[in-house]
A and B are shown apart, each in its own frame.
Chain A
């Protein structure tokens, strides 16, 4: 049980002040660049955002929380940058995003409070798997499923909010995999036979890999979402590796993924289009059509240079749907390569802290859980930044904490809360 005795979190407080100052300066710069002036009342939105984070800090202090003190400031810094970018790129969505932030903060507190002993999660692993699968197929259901921008990954009620269930699926999947692999890892990592370096576990243990691959391919085909496919399979392979330490499984998985992708390229127009755009975005047939978004994104990067055009002084608004798909390029255009490196460093430190929490966690389940959740943040960042910079084909994955989007904000704060809970449990066990 968590004893209710307040504990000072001074490192967290100090860091929060720094990232709050960073977001405030950014916000003022963006507003001033757009209108040429800054009125005092315009500071209301960033102050409200920061107040929410202040309350979260007070909440953690008041319940005597003993978890990591770096994760929250990092998440707040990224979210603050996200709000600066929403104001810069889509100011009409600002209040909506603020509403989502309040919901996200609520989800954060609930996650911190309810699963007091996280092993509860492990016990109901098949429930989580079921929830995950249901959420996964929910966009395909009639009445609630929605197809937006060519991807059928939304549920919603017309006129009311819509939600990307995928975001929540990620967490359910990591919980399930962590629990499942904790139970079966011995059998998977010590196969009875080996052909040279190649481990051959009994066929029943290979089945989950094939099943996961099939589900990933189904998502690609029916929900037309390359990002979800990649993320789904990526999480699975990473956690399989974490549990077994067997690079051969990863190799099989990658071969299956590339093979599936190759077949899909030839069989499905929406997959082929993404790949063609990636290979030759400046092709004269594509650049005003399907590749328009990517070429405009690259022009944004090209305008960045070392120090950027300055907040509010670039032209990232030329990129279609920039506030959700291309925030990274928009950010880079205005704060430069240096700023982009700083942003990537925020993510890398977040992931590093998350992995550190995993290393110290007292049980295998908690280790796998924390490492899997940290991996999500790393993988999403790499996939979308890679897509924005034409290193890999573009997918609809969101940049964690920064990109506009309610589902993603709520999920990321829950993810952050779960990591904090693991570190809190560790601190109490090692006390």
Chain B
């Protein structure tokens, strides 16, 4: 009898083992079949880089055809050569040891002749070991605008991004500090360079344009105004401003401060010109947390833009919702717990300029084959109507006045003969003096370019940033 129970136990144990083998097989199948394409495209997977170590990778060029990255012979292997340091984080690097980043990583397959649109080439590479000769990856970067952005930022820590509001094509992208990617692909220097870049406190490897996260400061008021206008708020209604402001005693020793120690009546237009915090705090309290939060989310605050390179998401608040009146007041004028990237704010400006339609931003415009024919184009989707055309038109009027009206804070962005729409921002932050923001677009009635500028720890905040935005837009418009 006792042996029979042992036999039953053996059978049950064997069944358990068989089930465990089944589960394990499913796990192996997950990685080798289901997750395979993600793993193979992972920029840290050395396989794609190694696959073409003894062959050149494709070139990366800008919209004028200028070569930004190419493969040069180095002994019996090929090494990448990068020729525009101002695009360091955008181009990225293709290192045998540390993987790939930027366009080198995101468009890795295209750069080794296995573009996803080229199924025959992929099949040949996998099963016959024959690789299609790689073509090139074309960026939307306009060398003229890029040069203007580099010159405008000077050597200051910060970022400038410019894009076409109608197509989302990125025209210029500068993030400082940057680095020399050539050191990362040089076997003699790579380890030292990698260690140093990763240890650097000012994070040169980060693309501040898309991954840098900052409080938006007063540039947020565009979103607050959009929420107000869409919910039927009357922009001509005069609102009393007396510095400092608190809604009631429950705020304790907490006050909203005016940017200009104002005492007087403001309508929306004047509030934009003087960047009046108390006005927008009151507007936010009037329309409520729900409407403000919804509008911010519609504009992309707290979610990752569908960019073709790595992005930061930012946040509306630490908890994701605006859950108390003081936070609602602070969020309405751009402080609170908000975090956004320069790219997200450039898209806000672009959406207002593009009559309320938000398009997807993209660095790359085309993938070409080795003979120069277009394999596929990137970007160019229809876009989403975020706010009504009427709201966008009203906002544009206010943003033009914020640049052009007497005493307007963003006067530095003016361009002779063109109406410029724009907004400065001064982002208080715990680490040193405030960051200076400018977002805008031009020409106001039919915009060709939208920009966002951030200068980290700028002396005077937004007033410092506005002329930089002006200079970049001027270069794009050919003035």
Contacts and interface: CB of A to CB of B under 8 A. Distances in A.
Contacts of B9: 241-245
A431 B60 CA distance: 78
A367 B20 CA distance: 22
B46 A302 contact: no
- Grouping DSSP codes into helix (H, G, I), strand (E, B) and loop, the B interface class, with mixed when no group exceeds half, is helix
B290 interface: no
A336 B40 CA distance: 14
A183 to B, nearest CB: 12
Interface in A237-289: 238, 241-245, 282, 287-288
Contact of B32 (A186, A337, A367): A337
Interface stretch (B11-19, B73-81, B166-174, B210-218): B11-19
B39 A301 contact: yes
A340 B28 contact: yes
Nearest to B98: A288
B13 A242 contact: yes
B42 interface: yes
B5 A389 contact: no
A352 B33 CA distance: 28
B21 A337 contact: no
A385 to B, nearest CB: 5
Contacts of A390: 27, 31
A355 B14 contact: yes
Contacts of A306: 32-33
Contacts of B7: 359, 367
A305 interface: yes
Nearest to A306: B33
Interface string B32-46: 110111111010111
Contacts of B39: 298-299, 301-303
Contacts of B33: 305-306, 337
B29 interface: yes
A385 B36 contact: no
B28 A301 contact: yes
Contacts of A103: none
A318 B25 contact: no
A162 interface: no
Interface stretch (A203-211, A343-351, A404-412): A343-351
B13 A355 contact: yes
A185 B2 CA distance: 10
Nearest to B47: A315
Contact of A391 (B11, B12, B24, B35): B24
A332 interface: yes
B8 interface: yes
- Grouping DSSP codes into helix (H, G, I), strand (E, B) and loop, the A interface class, with mixed when no group exceeds half, is helix
B10 interface: yes
Contact of A367 (B6, B21, B44): B6
A303 B40 contact: yes
Given A245-B9, A359-B10, A303 B31 contact: no
Most central of B2, B39, B50 by chain A CB within 10 Å: B39
A324 interface: no
Interface string A66-107: 000000000000000000000000000000000000000000
A243 B17 CA distance: 17
A382 B31 contact: no
Interface in A316-351: 318, 332, 336-337, 340-341, 344, 347-348, 351
B31 A242 contact: no
Nearest to B194: A288
Contacts of A288: 98
Contacts of B6: 242-243, 245, 364, 367-368
A389 B24 contact: yes
Contacts of A381: 21
A364 B47 CA distance: 53
Interface string A389-404: 1110000000000000
Contacts of B8: 245
Given A287-B44, A351-B17, A371-B10, A302 B35 contact: yes
Contacts of B237: none
Contacts of B2: 185-186, 364
A133 interface: no
A315 B11 CA distance: 41
B3 interface: yes
A344 B39 CA distance: 23
A298 B12 CA distance: 32
Contacts of B40: 299, 302-303
A367 B42 contact: no
Contacts of A364: 2-3, 6
B13 A382 contact: no
A63 interface: no
A64 interface: no
Contact of A348 (B18, B27, B129): B18
A232 interface: no
A297 B8 CA distance: 39
B413 to A, nearest CB: 37
Interface in A197-241: 238, 241
B14 A385 contact: no
A382 B46 contact: no
A275 B44 CA distance: 21
B24 A344 contact: yes
Contacts of A337: 28-29, 32-33
Contact of B24 (A245, A287, A371, A386): A386
A97 B41 CA distance: 36
A138 interface: no
B46 A305 contact: no
A284 to B, nearest CB: 9
Interface string A10-24: 000000000000000
A295 interface: yes
A304 interface: yes
Contact of A245 (B3, B5, B46, B129): B5
Nearest to A238: B13
A306 B33 CA distance: 7
A244 B2 CA distance: 10
Contacts of B25: 340-341, 344
B20 A303 contact: no
Contact of B21 (A287, A332, A347): A347
A341 B26 CA distance: 10
Given A299-B44, A302-B38, A382-B21, 7 more contacts: A245-B5, A299-B47, A332-B32, A348-B18, A359-B11, A367-B7, A391-B24
Interface of B: 2-3, 5-14, 17-18, 20-21, 23-25, 27-33, 35-40, 42, 44-47, 50, 98, 129
Q: Which 5 A-B pairs have the closest CB atoms?
A: A302-B39, A304-B32, A301-B31, A391-B27, A389-B27
26 contacts: A242-B10, A288-B98, A298-B39, A299-B45, A301-B39, A302-B35, A302-B37, A304-B32, A306-B32, A315-B46, A318-B46, A332-B28, A337-B29, A337-B32, A340-B25, A340-B28, A341-B28, A351-B14, A352-B14, A352-B18, A367-B7, A367-B10, A382-B20, A386-B24, A389-B31, A391-B27
